[in-house]
Amino acid sequence: MTPRVVLFDYGSGNLRSAERALTHAGALVEVTSDYDTSLDAAGLVVPGVGAFAACMEGLRARRGPELIGRRLSGGRPVLGICVGHQVLFEHGVEHGVASSGCGEWPGRVEGLSASTLPHIGWNTVETPTGSRMFEGVENERFYFVHSYAVRRWELVTDGRTRAPLVSWSRHEHDPFVAAVENGPLWATQFHPEKSGAAGTKLLANWVQQL
């Protein structure tokens, strides 16, 4: 049975390319901002393009943080992409403006330390052993467009629960979090919907575990 996926429309995100990529990856996709529809779907995708604060404003206007939290408390999958990945962390700082995020993970989104910004184009990702997200595409390149990222992973686990799988990339000499797998919550700083066959495979890996 084809899983039904909601691509959450909160006013920020490259919805059409993400819709096409998810459909190609095997999902039945609905683009909507309706809370109940988004809560009931097999999978929820939170895209994001632009500034952290503006994305959070759009999410709050549509009860996005509550929606994400309720889905995760019930073990229901959520996938964040680009700024949709960034807003899952506690804080974002852009142009000196600090904003609170959804707080699913501790940490801060901040400017990359590099001579050339934005970081745009294809880059490799250092993937951890046992990654389901990167199964079959561990050595592929993915497409990035961003000037801000999470540069330090701050979540400390007690050893009694499985630690999230964190993937890293770097722009010039600056490492940053490229992706996270944390139970039902997956997120990527890069754009799988713009990453060709490798991105389609990654999305298919997510769809297959719904």
* Tens digit of pLDDT at every position of the chain (210 positions): 899 999 999 998 779 999 999 999 999 999 999 999 999 999 999 999 999 999 999 999 999 999 999 999 999 999 999 999 999 999 999 888 899 999 999 999 999 999 999 999 999 999 999 999 999 999 999 999 999 999 999 998 877 778 899 999 999 999 999 999 999 999 999 999 999 999 999 999 999 999
**Residue-range domain boundaries for the chain:** 4-208
User: Amino acid letter at 198?
Assistant: A
Q: Whole-model pTM? A: 0.97
The pLDDT assigned to 97 comes to 86
* Choice among 82, 102, 104, 110 that is catalytic: 82
Give yes or no: 171 in active site: no
The pLDDT assigned to 91 comes to 97
Token output for 75: 């073990």
Rounded Cα–Cα distance for residues 112 and 65 (Å): 25
Rounded Cα–Cα distance for residues 206 and 23 (Å): 12
Token output for 204: 């298919």
Report domain 4-208's class. alpha beta
Instruction: Return the closest-CA partner of residue 3 out of 209, 182, 202.
Output: 209
Give yes or no: 140 in active site: no
Instruction: Return the closest-CA partner of residue 150 out of 92, 77, 210.
Output: 92
Per DSSP, 191 falls in state B
* Choice among 19, 110, 140, 193 that is catalytic: 193
The pLDDT assigned to 158 comes to 77
125 and 184 Cβ atoms separated by less than 8 Å: no
Give yes or no: 193 in active site: yes
* Choice among 85, 119, 171, 191 that is catalytic: 191
Rounded Cα–Cα distance for residues 210 and 138 (Å): 21
Token output for 193: 């919907």
